[in-house]
Amino acid sequence: MKADYIELDLQMTKDGVLIAMHDTTVNRTTNGTGSVANMTIDEIKQLDAGSWFNTRNPEKAKDEFVGLEVPTLEEVFQKFGRSTNYYIETKSPTLYPGMEEELLRLIDKYNLTGENARSSKVLIQSFFPQSLINIHEMNPNLPLVQLLSQPTLGAGAAAELAYIKEYAIGVGPSLARVNEEYVQQVRAEGLQMHPYTVNTKENMRRALDWGVNGVFTDYPDLFNEVIKEFKSGK
């Protein structure tokens, strides 16, 4: 698929283990119920995290998905090491005291940092500014991206971007909520632009025309095709 990063959402178990999961509960993506924060890692490891996908997506179903466990962040690092890049979201940091510290401990343990932001194997993103600020204070060399559910456009954008620039290297708004002028303003401030979630060929081309640095997409193979067409002038 030729994606540049593995994108991970983090939650934290009752006993302080970081797991790769989008939701704060296990209800949607496993055969269990309950909040991650109220469950131990042993309890979560008993759950079937694959069968739901087969049921919901029969055209993509595979037998090997049945019985899959919820992976911990450490298991992901153990499997892929420095062979890939990681784009990690602190999903609900206000629910999980110590999440940022544990994340940085694992990043250091598996030697995924660099001498500067450019050489790091990890990008960290969050909708929560304080989570990113905490991480920046602990390790200023880690590249951080501020996710934006409601980016400020027009005259008010400059102040917001100046504040974000104090701790982050870029912003990640929904492509549907921005325009070309905003993208250019972000770039002019020296920040990177990583919009989400860009899944159609039309929107991929629009993002490239506007000058984004990268995108979140479920179809990196399609985006690579669009990039080739864009570079060839088609």
Structure tokens at 98: 């110590």
Structure tokens at 128: 């929560």
Phi, psi of 232 (to 5 degrees): -85, -5
The rounded percent of the chain whose pLDDT value lies above 70 is: 100
Tens of pLDDT, residue by residue over 86-117, are: 999 999 889 999 999 999 999 999 999 987 77
| Spatial distance between the Cα atoms of 36 and 125, rounded to a whole number of angstroms | 20
Give the pLDDT confidence score for residue 52 in this predicted structure: 95
> Helices marked H in 59-174 — which ranges?
73-80, 99-109, 129-138, 157-164
| Spatial distance between the Cα atoms of 231 and 234, rounded to a whole number of angstroms | 8
Residue 146 DSSP SS3: strand
Residue 106 DSSP SS3: helix
Tens of pLDDT, residue by residue over 132-171, are: 999 999 999 999 999 999 999 998 999 999 999 999 999 9
Give the pLDDT confidence score for residue 92 in this predicted structure: 87
pLDDT-derived band at 233 (thresholds 50, 70, 90) equals confident
Q: Is the pTM of this model over 0.75?
A: yes
| Spatial distance between the Cα atoms of 104 and 211, rounded to a whole number of angstroms | 31
Give the pLDDT confidence score for residue 116 in this predicted structure: 78
Phi, psi of 17 (to 5 degrees): -100, 130
Does the domain at residues 6-24+88-232 carry the CATH identifier 3.20.20.190?
Answer: yes
CB 17 within 8 A of CB 103: no
